[in-house]
Structure 1
């Protein structure tokens, strides 16, 4: 939601900023902020990507190479090279899919499981920094709830990191949301931006950026896109004629109502998946508590 172009742009988000409660009551939007939190402190090395692939295979996800690339939001060309390397190291096997000879099936080898176990201490140490405000029990409960949203069975392996789980929940909700609103030429990320302008407008672009806890360059890119779609106008700020004042167009108000309905639908689905509003409230509280911790010193903030 209100996500800048591309993936993993932790640098577009302002860490530690106060979040708008009328937006964060929606878990799809709150997960955008949680994703930005872990992305800001993420290990962007080759090893981190290897861990994501091996962990997904260990959890029983993405036996198809294409499905795994989509789940992890990895470019297809990069994915081919990554699997080539992991196969060469003896961590993964890749075989032709008998039901579709143009695709491959992936499986984790015993060596791959050993490598995953070797990576685990460093990954869990990063998790402890990212979730510094949570107790050990709260961290375990957060992971349980995130795995439930992902639809993992209760007996599935539980060794996945919080960083990995948050990233996968964010990707899942973004895919679902985009599928719901694509017929209207929208992305679910537009919800936060249109909601903000609808609440604040007419408003200066700087105020809009603060409301969404975005850097001003990231906010400008989002506004450019919304203006191009005819959803927002850049009028003149009556209090300062040197500044723009953002306001929804008639079409923008219609699209905001449409997006709100889609996000309400997603929210209801999540509540059902979690087993009720009590578990949903628990997940919200744990994520808010996690976000109150500063990004670890020295974390990579590049996009």
Structure 2
């Protein structure tokens, strides 16, 4: 009996790459991102739209340029995310009280409601992904990632 094609090929080793922290971070991120996508889909959100909604909920009156900086993304991309959130009825744009050239972003009641549900699901996602790690290990990972980012 012939083996299926995928079993005929030798397994590829990534051992040489596993020496690099960045490679391991990317592989872990891919797993976390895929699970997060499945977690957020029922809410009509993706990782970046959830992040944008979260920032708007927590920082009422935030300007799009501030949101772009906080999320470390291009301003043009933020406009796309805000457009999606606005089309869903979760965010509004109003002229800024301090800068007539800018808009202030506000979360609607519907936006807050979907955010609270999605946030609970994301917390469950985090617990699921970190299952098996002790609290002290999670704290070390968070601290190390923040130091790499230059914030710790």
| 1:172 is aligned to 2:73 | no
How far, CA to CA, are the matches of 1:172 and 1:193 in structure 2?
Answer: 21
Partner-residue secondary structure (3-state), 1:230: coil
Q: Summarize deviations over 1:251-277 as a string: whole Å, max 9, x none.
A: 211111012101211222234221x10
Aligned to 1:208: 67
- The answer to whether the Cα contact below 8 Å between 1:209 and 1:219 also exists between their aligned partners in 2 is yes
- The answer to whether the Cα contact below 8 Å between 1:204 and 1:243 also exists between their aligned partners in 2 is yes
How far, CA to CA, are the matches of 1:181 and 1:219 in structure 2?
Answer: 18
How far, CA to CA, are the matches of 1:108 and 1:281 in structure 2?
Answer: 38
Q: Summarize deviations over 1:150-186 as a string: whole Å, max 9, x none.
A: xxxxxxxxx4532222112112112112212322222
Aligned to 1:140: none
Aligned to 1:239: 98
> Bigger relative contact order, structure 1 or 2, given CA contacts below 8 A and separation 6+?
1
Structure 1 position 232, deviation (Å): 1.2
How far, CA to CA, are the matches of 2:42 and 2:126 in structure 1?
Answer: 20
- The answer to whether the Cα contact below 8 Å between 1:233 and 1:247 also exists between their aligned partners in 2 is yes
Aligned to 1:285: 143
Unaligned runs of 5+ in 2: none
How far, CA to CA, are the matches of 2:3 and 2:90 in structure 1?
Answer: 46
Partner-residue secondary structure (3-state), 2:6: strand
Q: TM-score, normalised by structure 2?
A: 0.81
Counterparts in 2 of 1:289 and 1:244: CA distance versus 1, 3 Å: same
Q: Summarize deviations over 1:25-54 as a string: whole Å, max 9, x none.
A: xxxxxxxxxxxxxxxxxxxxxxxxxxxxxx
User: Could you tell me which of 80, 83, 90 is aligned with 1:224?
Assistant: 83
Partner-residue secondary structure (3-state), 2:94: strand
- The answer to whether the Cα contact below 8 Å between 2:43 and 2:118 also exists between their aligned partners in 1 is no
- The answer to whether the Cα contact below 8 Å between 2:39 and 2:125 also exists between their aligned partners in 1 is no
Q: Summarize deviations over 1:75-96 as a string: whole Å, max 9, x none.
A: xxxxxxxxxxxxxxxxxxxx97
- The answer to whether the Cα contact below 8 Å between 1:200 and 1:208 also exists between their aligned partners in 2 is no
| 1:108 is aligned to 2:24 | no
Partner-residue secondary structure (3-state), 2:97: coil
How far, CA to CA, are the matches of 1:287 and 1:211 in structure 2?
Answer: 17
- Off by >4 Å, runs of 4+ in structure 1: none
The CA RMSD measured in Å over matched residues stands at 2.6
The structure with the largest helix share of the pair is 2
